Every structure is written in C-alpha cells, then in structure tokens.
Amino acid sequence: MSKLVTREKKVAFMGCTKELTTTFHRMKHFTSMSRSSNPNEYSRKYVDEKGENTDVTGYSPSIAYGFDQYTEDPVHEEIIGITDGEKVGDDAIRTIINVDFTRKGKKDGNFVGIKREYAIIPDSDGDDENTYTYSGNFKSKSDMEEVEVSSKDEWQTCEIVTSVEEP
C-alpha cells in the first residue's frame, strides 16, 4: 500500500567544521528549502521534422532557502558567517547531505542521502518584523554522490557510513 511522504521525511544536514573536525548538523528552523533541478537543455529543429527536439544534457541543482535565526546553531552560524562576512570563492562552499528517510540503508537504522557541495549565495536578511530571517540559494558546486548515513543522536547529526554503489 502506498503512503504519502511528508516533508520531514527528507531532511538536510550541513557540514560544519570546528577545530579541523567536520560534523554534519541537521538544518533546523528553515522555513523554506525548495530544490530546483535547473536542467541544461539542448534543443534543435531537424529539417525533416515538424517540431523541435529537446534533450537534457546536464543539471545545475539549486536549493532556495530561508530560515529564522537561532543562537547556538552551527548551521546558522556557518551561513551567517558567509553572509555577514561577505565571503567568496572556496570560503562560501559547504557540503550538504539530503537524507531521505524513505530510503533505508543496508544496515538497520541507516538511510540513503545525496551528498553535494554547494556555493552559498546569500540574498536577503532581516525582512521579517517578528524574527530575524536570512534567505538565499545553495547552488551546485559538485556532482552528487549517494551515501549511506547513520546517527548516534536521534538525527541531530549524521555521519557517512559508505558511498552507495551502483547496482
């Protein structure tokens, strides 16, 4: 029997580095995190056909984000540091794993996620009168990698167990 997949079944974790150790923290208090595939298209019209012919030749995924700022949140600190510090280049790149709790891993309690590096592209902040907010886009900076992840703290953080092999 099929089941409806609710939003909290697909959760993002951002790699935050402190003292040379990277920990993937759950991305909490985000009011939006919508993914766009942004396919690259190759279109042409052949002389012997009536209509246009289109193929997808690649993807440039991005994630539009918005969050309410909370103190002592390592993910918020990373994004705010990039935004307020006007960081550029490699200093504005972070790794995000989107964990799909509907895809079980090989080991009980593990799940499959998509790991990718993203450039953090800030847009605006402070535009809500009730809470301080930040918004922008995470834009693809690397190829995706399927990974299996586990957690020791009820999914407040996650760690990569292994890459998922192609069948």
Which tens digit of pLDDT belongs to each residue from 145-159?
999 999 999 999 999
**Which pTM does this prediction carry?**
0.91
The pLDDT value recorded for residue 127 is 87
Q: Which long-range contacts (CB under 8 A, 24 or more apart) does 6-10 make?
A: 8/101, 9/100, 9/101, 9/102, 10/98, 10/99, 10/100, 10/101, 10/102
Q: What is the model's pLDDT at position 167? A: 53
pLDDT in tens, 68-112: 999 999 999 999 999 999 999 999 999 999 999 999 999 999 999
Check pLDDT > 60 for residue 160: yes
The confidence band for 163, taking pLDDT boundaries of 50, 70 and 90, is confident
Closest CA to 134 of 72, 82, 61, 88: 82
